[in-house]
Structure 1
Amino acid sequence: MEKKEYTLNELILEAAENPAENDFFELEKPAMLEINLKNQKILSKAGSMVAYIGNIDFKRESMLSKGLGGLLKKAISGEGASLMYASGTGKLYLADGGKKVKIIKLQDEAIFVNGNDVLALEESISNEIKMLKSVAGMVSGGLFQVRLAGSGYIAITTHGEPILLKVTPGQPVFTDPNATVAWSENLTPSIKTNITFGSFIGRGSGESFQMEFMGQGWVLVQPYEEVKYTQK
């Protein structure tokens, strides 16, 4: 049961960071990512910095930026927003609307992540942005996929605790695009439409348009339909 009241000392003990932990990407709290920079650079979602200690410089990517910032700008932050580079030495704390943070250490591997759910990535991680054009206009803002590959840390966010569903040959998995967080590299999603069911429910996204995953792999789904922005 969640504690309803604290003495000041109890609050300090529970909420204080753990100084003994100094991993590069570290889960300080369920919804708080701590990044320990030692003359390093990372890329994070714009506006996700909540605090830092030390000598850390921040740089926002402009609307006309190319390369990594240009690719991820739209996928992670939406139209008109920008990304943030952080470099230097110190402790950086990131969060995104109270969503839970999951840290993944890729070891010469690759996964696909919904662009809205990428919180941070190590500079060594390569990326490629794609969009399921068939879902553009059907799901608010379309659906951007970020392929993250290589060796290093990434951090993704979820509303609540996600569930991992296994995909096997002959047993596809269907998901709501707005609840789909990530999936294994060897799966390529397609869009399945069910207009009749969607019309019956009276909604225009999740129920009438689903992502279909076929093959061998897994899909990570959160217990929440997240709509970040609306494409006009």
Structure 2
Amino acid sequence: MARYTIGDFVSQTAQKDRGEGLFELENDRMLEVNLNGMVWAKLGSMVAYRGAVRFEREGMLDHGLGTLLKKAVTGEGAHLMRAAGNGKLYLADEGKRISILNLQNQSIYVNGNDLLAFEPSLKYDIKLMRRVSTMMAGGLFNIRLEGTGMAAITTYYDPVTLMVTPDSPVSTDPNATVAWSGSLYPELKTDITFKTLLGRGSGETFQMEFRGSGFVVVQPYEEVYFQVAQGQSH
């Protein structure tokens, strides 16, 4: 039983410096931020830090008046905090798997619930899907990140990326959709049939339809973060 000693446990789980830059995966469920300045992070995602780091909740006008107005309309839940200082910061979100994206003058849309952290060099904006206000209470929102810098997103379990081409569109369940390329903007479509109303349908009443050229990231899990206007969970 020598292999179960406290020393072995500490050795196997100890934090390791990999020299990968600002964002490093300490493991696939925890993000290490080598902080020397400031990053945006999901509110409440801090699990530990070392050094001189201070936290401040996102201000009302931190991302501009347009973003403030969109937040007021959507009631969205992607509340952010500013982490600033010098040290090592460890972030996680309910044990979800973390992926790091290094944008090079690119853009990507991320579900508002799945954005863990990003550099301030990336432009941030809230986007509402068209037709949402008439179908869903509170709406379905996503975050557009654009520019050059690093971002970290989260998924339940391992994500799968599906390629979208002009002759091969992709439809997804909104609750399982995590991110998609900035070249795409999905339409929300409905599939309400008589059987659905009787409770005999597949349950996939709403879908996101992606057309054009790009990619969409899905996860093998349905997050429930909005409600149908009648008050029923999807």
Superposition TM-score, scaled by structure 2 size: 0.85
Residue 211 of structure 1 is matched in structure 2 by 208
> Secondary structure at 1:90's aligned position in 2?
strand
Post-superposition shift, 1:26? Answer: 0.6
Post-superposition shift, 1:203? Answer: 7.7
Post-superposition shift, 1:201? Answer: 4.9
Alignment partner for residue 13 of structure 2, among 9, 12, 15?
15
Residue 32 of structure 2 is matched in structure 1 by 34
> Secondary structure at 1:13's aligned position in 2?
helix
| Matched residue type, 1:186 | S
| Matched residue type, 1:163 | V
CA contact 1:199–1:208 (8 Å) conserved in 2: no
> Secondary structure at 1:116's aligned position in 2?
coil
1:36-55 pair list within 5 angstroms: 36-38=34-36, 40-55=37-52
Residue 178 of structure 1 is matched in structure 2 by 175
> Secondary structure at 1:67's aligned position in 2?
coil
1:96-115 pair list within 5 angstroms: 96-115=93-112
1:140-179 pair list within 5 angstroms: 141-179=138-176
Q: 1:69 to 1:128 in 2, by over 3 A?
A: same
Residue 86 of structure 1 is matched in structure 2 by 83
Post-superposition shift, 1:207? Answer: 0.1
Which stretch shows the higher mean deviation, 7-16 or 155-164?
7-16
Post-superposition shift, 1:142? Answer: 2.4
1:52-91 pair list within 5 angstroms: 52-62=49-59, 65-68=60-63, 71=67, 74=71, 82-91=79-88
Post-superposition shift, 1:14? Answer: 1.8
| Matched residue type, 2:173 | D
Post-superposition shift, 1:130? Answer: 1.0
**Structure 2: where are the runs of 5+ without partners?**
none
| Matched residue type, 1:95 | A
Which stretch shows the higher mean deviation, 148-157 or 191-200?
191-200
Post-superposition shift, 1:8? Answer: 1.6
Post-superposition shift, 1:133? Answer: 4.2
Provide the C-alpha distance between the structure 2 equivalents of 1:201 and 1:166, rounded to a whole number of angstroms. 32
CA contact 1:139–1:178 (8 Å) conserved in 2: no
CA contact 1:186–1:216 (8 Å) conserved in 2: yes
Superposition TM-score, scaled by structure 1 size: 0.85
Provide the C-alpha distance between the structure 2 equivalents of 1:18 and 1:48, rounded to a whole number of angstroms. 20
> Secondary structure at 1:178's aligned position in 2?
helix
Post-superposition shift, 1:48? Answer: 0.4
CA contact 1:180–1:221 (8 Å) conserved in 2: yes
Deviations 1:152-171 (A, max 9, x none): 11000000001111111121
CA contact 1:69–1:83 (8 Å) conserved in 2: no
1:223 aligns with 2:209: no
